[in-house]
Amino acid sequence: MDWPAPQDFVYGEPLPPPEQWDRPGLVMFFNLECPGCVSRGIPFLKRLHAEFTERTHLLTIHTSRGHRLLPRNDVEPTLLKFARDFARLPFPVALDLSGDLALAWETEGTPHWLAFAPGGELLRSVYGSQDNAQTRLQYLLEEQVDGGPEQGASWKRRRWPD
């Protein structure tokens, strides 16, 4: 599975790949130059963290896919300052400098969300930060965390427009 290497985690503790997760999780590919990521995506992920605390894994991956390709020493200090001092993120941040990781996960741009079941099954891939995308992701996590395996299984049968 394509996943950030431990040295690519620039903030917070490195998170193992989803196949090693014992609870559901959500990964957001983002970029600091993406207005929707910074104004809607990051605040949404912080709200999810406040609601689900230790019942989910949450991760942001800063990617260059669809954005300027910059060297690590130009990206990492700004990203670290954003995560630590400005946004005060309660979850880890990893770097995808080349954009290859986002490409491997077939992201459509930023923000792009990947929702995983415990054990790593990809449940949903959602592009965007508007209310519709946020609502689908919120419901998915609620069912995965609070609904148990039966509810989680029913989510996979449900058809949602992309």
Tell whether 5 is covered by a domain: no
Distances (CA, A) of 33 to 26, 30, 100, 139, 142: 21, 9, 18, 28, 30
What CATH number is attached to the domain comprising 121? Answer: 3.40.30.10
Task: Convert the pLDDT of each residue in 73-82 to its tens digit.
Answer: 999 999 999 9
For Cα atoms 47, 32, 74, give the angle at the middle one, nearest 5 degrees. Answer: 135
Tell whether 20 is covered by a domain: no
Domain count, the chain: 1
The 3-state DSSP composition of the chain as helix, strand, coil percent (nearest 5) reads 45, 20, 35
Record the tokens describing residue 30, joined without a space: 């983002």
**pLDDT above 60 (res 5):** yes
Tell whether 16 is covered by a domain: no
Q: How far apart are CA 57 and CA 13, in angstroms?
A: 12
**pLDDT above 80 (res 2):** yes
Tell whether 107 is covered by a domain: yes
Residue 96 lies in domain? 31-157
Task: Convert the pLDDT of each residue in 22-45 to its tens digit.
Answer: 999 999 999 999 999 999 999 999
**pTM, 2 dp:** 0.87
Tell whether 61 is covered by a domain: yes
**pLDDT above 60 (res 65):** yes
The residues pairing with 59 across neighbouring beta strands, listed in sequence order, are 27
Q: How far apart are CA 32 and CA 39, in angstroms?
A: 10
Tell whether 85 is covered by a domain: yes
CA 118 to chain centre: 15
The residues pairing with 11 across neighbouring beta strands, listed in sequence order, are 93
